Structure 1
Amino acid sequence: MIYFLINNNYHRLDFENHLSHLDENNVTLIEIPHTLDERRYTKLSGIFRYRKPPQSGLMAQVMSFLSLVRKIGADINPTSGDTLFFYTEYEILNQYVAGRFMQAGSRVYLIEDGGLGTYVPFRMSGCESLTLKESTKQFVYRLLPGISRIRLHKLNGFIFPWMPDSCITGVCLYRPVSISRIIPTHILKRPFQPQVNCTSGRVVFLNEPIYSIYQGEEEYIDGLIKIVDGLCNGFNEVLFKFHPRETDEWRTRIKQQITFHFPRVNFIKVDTAIEEVVDHYHPSVVASYFCSALLSLCDRGIQPLFLYHLIPDIQRQPIFRETTSVLTDLGYHFVENFSEANSNFRSGLLNTANYQNSITLAELIGQNRA
């Protein structure tokens, strides 16, 4: 049996793209929703959905974890002949599920989470010191069933919960990026991506809640205004999309600022996956600070425009220096200033979907069964 474990709409789209090349009757889907729309499937062997209740604080998270692992343990009984594909270690329930499969002798593969979300932290093996609160959290996590070897890997002040490298059979990447973790790497062929009929002069900007991690509130607003000003000068039409995790309070605050300074900017009201947004709006360019989705959109004929490096207090942070290293290795062309952020921009990354020695997910499964 082949299992897929997904948490959000990007994971679902990637799963569905691979599904067309697999025997659906031999596929089971596990859903632990973050921002994940419900969808019906008629041919899958099974679907398990574990919805987490609203959580506030470490103890509430612990109680939710203990409640759900009992349900997962009752529902899912992997064997040595099974294969699990999952997309992120960030959700600790994912780690519990992956651990159950590994303990049973199954193969456990991590598929890249959109690109940079996997590439960058996996290249940074040095961990910053944990605060007392963070160390306490790690200690509590390690008392929970199935995740006794979890580690909180701290980069740029942000926590990445990691499993032991030995508990992952392999990591599947769509681009040949070197990583520092001791996990075998497989370069996947991305399933066929329908090309978008792009509208020249139209850009979609994907906002990110960096004000909660990488910048202060005022610095964020100042930088955002510079970005939107540059896009308004370079494109005929600018569409603004909030990140699904942004609160109503922040959305209102941002919209007021943007509308006051740039009244011609249009706001996209839905929180659907960016892949569905581009199918509807047909932009020629999608811009953001460093959103992982930008890399996946290359394969659909849309130019990805990264802008984090034009904001000095972001650009010099360690995690963004590594982001620059990754994109440079891939051959990305950075704009040198906001005047170059226009409809003539060319990233250098289009038409690079599949690489030499890349394999399909179905071939990977067959290869390991031989």
Structure 2
Amino acid sequence: MKKYLIGLVVFIASLSTVSCNSGGGGNNSVTPYPYQTSGSYNGISYSQLGNPPGFTDYPEAYFPTFTSSAAMSSKIAYGRNTQTNITNLSAYVRMGKYICSATPIYYNPKENVTFLVGAAHCFIPAKPLADTLTANDLVANNLVSVYNGVSQDTGWYESFPTTAVYLMKNYCYGATFDKPGGCPNFTAGDGVAGGQGNDLAIIQIPGKYANPESYPTVVPESEYPQELSMAPILSVGYGLNTQTPASPDSDLPRGTMFYVANYFYDKTDTNGYHYLYNSFFNSASNGYAALICGGDSGGGDLFWTGQKWILLSEHTYGPDDACGTYYNYLPNAATNVGSYYSWIESIITSASPQDWCNAAGNNCVTNYGL
């Protein structure tokens, strides 16, 4: 089975092709069915954490209505988009003709700038050097725009240029590629020997994005819900929408926010590969739900603590033939944001993020000024 990076969908024209890589699958040794509803967070059961401000019946209200059918069930592409408050928790990102998703995490009122978390592979058209990433490898800032709202069809509330994008120098370490989405490093068991993924980006935009009081926050992993506890997770993305099937896939609509509720299933940690698997499990015969499709990359998996939203992970890769469908062993993998907590905090709290990024030893590269 092959894996593929799930961003980099062409906005209007045909679906872009991204490179795939064969490799092993996920872990289905624990079956989250029937749902384990007895989990808790800081001693409070999940069912008693309450509703986020402006939301009703979270998370049950955000399960799709098609849960009786494996063909149309709990995945972003069959999710809902009627709660406009969720636009405070998500962002639509355009990189020229390609689209991805992102999550706002911090607004600096003194500098009047906003930072968002996205996926690194959305911003690298090619990588000619195996062991490092340079500023010239990143997409130019004038090609990147960030939008707030449900969709272009209903009218974006706001749009923003980007000031900078920040990536780790060891993104896709050990590998080269010559087209968007071409990094072959998915796990330690595939890709190049000794390679790394580190598929995470920080996006800086001028001004205040949506409502900062509603932003999810980035926290250390010690504040995460326990894996395998079936903690309710809200997954958001602006990728391909398969609610109205089309052939070929290039005719599928895209660029509309959808969201679903699912569960925190499992996580893995190896050098350069830190993933969470947030996959709704319909039944033992159907396996994992591939929640995400092309264009959802960088979108967030969010958990409501009872007091605030926290960003657990951002969508990275999935099975190449399971966009918005069920698959029997390989769940979608989302980069564990908490694993990069110190790196993220260093950028968003710096008085001069670009200077911090350019300083020797900080494992950072930026397209600031390019």
TM range (shorter): under 0.3
Question: By percentage of residues, which structure has more helix?
Answer: 1
Q: Which has the larger radius of gyration?
A: 1
What is the TM-score with the length of structure 1 in the denominator? 0.24
Question: By percentage of residues, which structure has more strand?
Answer: 2
What is the TM-score with the length of structure 2 in the denominator? 0.24
